[in-house]
Amino acid sequence: MRKRFFGFALSTMLFALSLSADAQQPAKIPRIGFLSGRAEPTPANPDPTAAAFQQALRDLGYVEGKNILIEYRYAAGMQDRWPSLVAELVQLNVHVIVSPVGAAIRAAKQATKTIPIVMIITGDPVATGLIDSLARPGGNVTGLTRLTVDLSGKRLELLKEVVPKISRVGVLWDPTGRASPKDYEAAARALKIQLQSLEVRGPNPDFEGVFQAAIKGRVSGLVTVRTGLNLVYRKQIADLAIKNRLPSMCEASEEVEAGGLMSYSADDDESYRRAATYVDKILKGAKPADLPVEQPMKFEFVINLKTAKQIGLTIPPNVLVRADKVIR
């Protein structure tokens, strides 16, 4: 009897200890993969989109390093890096992949059918085959579309309001991406503006040569397409536009902060805040296939008056009053 009693007591104690050990095991911290087309951020050149995403997660109760981990991967404008960067995140078995780059989303969708993917992309995700529909995406991709292409006409209209005599506009773009001067052709015809394609490619983009070609082609204005490469070199592009006295219309507000003349786009901070809410819902059990894709509700028109002065341009008062943000 005594042996049975001690055996029972020992078993009970070991069972209790095992339950206690299980209870003390920390819950698995969710790991998010964040894919960006930008260069690796530095104190002098931070990534404002990552900062907006991080702040939105904090507002939702997530503290990086404590109850959430984020794996950052930067392509520095190099489109051919996406498959390897995606493979790294899939190998890490991240819980969600987040990206603002269509090529990165396509690479992720090809690499995994199970890891949820949250997009913040510029184009039409239905037309490009990323999702089935905005209301019911299907598959493992959901998120937001920024309607960047849809705003092409508005950008050209604003540029013509500022420079009424403009007749030829150069479109600075990276042919390895999906966006192209074709996105502006319909609006250009309506406004009687000719377009000149200004192609630039990495890893060693020749912006000096591109601007020489623009001046030789008698370009009197510039549109910079939102690509990873253009964002990486936004300061150099802005400086060359100022040097050549070319008024520029940008697809991202941070290009204006770097010295571009104007931008018209969906609000970046708001887009990344909304992306964080998708991550939160997915971590709490929602399926990407059931989360409708959002379109932006808030747009931002930014003007850099300092740049206008440097190129000898006066912004009409009726345009200036419509700006959401003015850099002086």
Report residue 227 as tokens. 């690509």
**pLDDT number for residue 241:** 98
What residues form DSSP beta bridges with 250? 224, 263
Residue ranges of the domains in the chain? 31-147+267-299, 149-266+300-327
Backbone angles phi, psi at 311, to 5 degrees: -100, 5
Residue 37's nearest CA partner among 93, 105, 127 is 105
**pLDDT number for residue 10:** 46
Helix, strand or coil, per DSSP, at residue 253: helix
Backbone angles phi, psi at 93, to 5 degrees: 55, 50
Non-local CB neighbours of 123 within 8 Å, separated by 6+ positions: 102, 145, 148, 149, 178, 179
Report residue 290 as tokens. 């059931």
**pLDDT number for residue 27:** 61
Below-50 pLDDT ranges, the chain: 1-3, 5-10, 14-25
**115 vs 112: CA distance, rounded Å:** 6
**15 vs 325: CA distance, rounded Å:** 64
Tell me: domain 149-266+300-327, CATH 3.40.50.2300, correct?
A: yes
- Which homologous superfamily is 31-147+267-299 in? Response regulator (3.40.50.2300)
**106 vs 127: CA distance, rounded Å:** 13
